[in-house]
Amino acid sequence: MPGQLTVRPVTQQDYEQWLPLWDGYNEFYGRSGETALAGEITQMTWSRFFDAYEPVHALVAERDGKLLGLVHYLYHRSTTAIAPNCYLQDLFTSQAARGQGVGRALIEGVYERAKAAGSGRVYWLTHETNHTAMQLYDRIGERSGFVVYRKMF
């Protein structure tokens, strides 16, 4: 019988298990092969988790010493609130862990930390084709109705 799922902050010792999850997340969104993130982006992302001056944080889900998922989130100011907003930027679980509550546990871990930090809101985006994840998101969050526009440089 598998052990209990633990959601905790990432540590420096997690890198070897975090990296395949990070690579899987990026591959899911089409960032692999010729469109892969540059190695320095991955290294900078990793280093930000351990820099006290950065608003970027990471949690991992672990069971029996194996990382099953990751979530990255950050805090930012808003013109419509005094408290910081919490943006859940990246969420990924290993294929083997899907459907076992890992994604929900990671999101709830962000909710807990955002509340403790005084944030009044956690929000995130997903691709419109990510139907499986949206089934979870529809149960634990609410759609804002906003449409995202962007311009890449």
| Intervals of the chain under pLDDT 70 | 1
- pLDDT one-digit tens code per residue, 35-74: 778 899 999 999 999 999 999 999 999 999 999 999 999 9
Strand partners, 101: none
**Per-residue model confidence (pLDDT) at position 58:** 98
CATH superfamily of the 6-140 domain: Gcn5-related N-acetyltransferase (GNAT) (3.40.630.30)
Please report which helix (H) or strand (E) contains residue 138, including its range: helix 131-140
Q: How many CA atoms lie within 13 A of 64 on its CB side?
A: 4
User: What's the chain's Rg over C-alpha atoms?
Assistant: 16
pLDDT at 1: 61
**CA dist., res. 5 & res. 8, Å (int):** 10
Query: Can you list the alpha helix ranges (DSSP code H) found in 29-126?
Result: 39-48, 102-116
Six-digit token pair at 86? Answer: 């919490």
Q: Do β-strands 85-93 and 122-124 pair in parallel, antiparallel, or remain unpaired?
A: parallel
Q: Is-contact 97 71, C-beta < 8 A?
A: no
pLDDT attached to residue 34: 78
Q: What's the pLDDT at 49?
A: 98
Domain boundary assignment for the chain:
6-140
Q: Taking every pair of C-alpha atoms in the chain, what is the biggest distance, in angstroms?
A: 50
What the block records as the tokens of 37 is 């993130």
* pLDDT number for residue 68: 98
How far is residue 86's CA from residue 53's CA, in Å, rounded to a whole number?
16
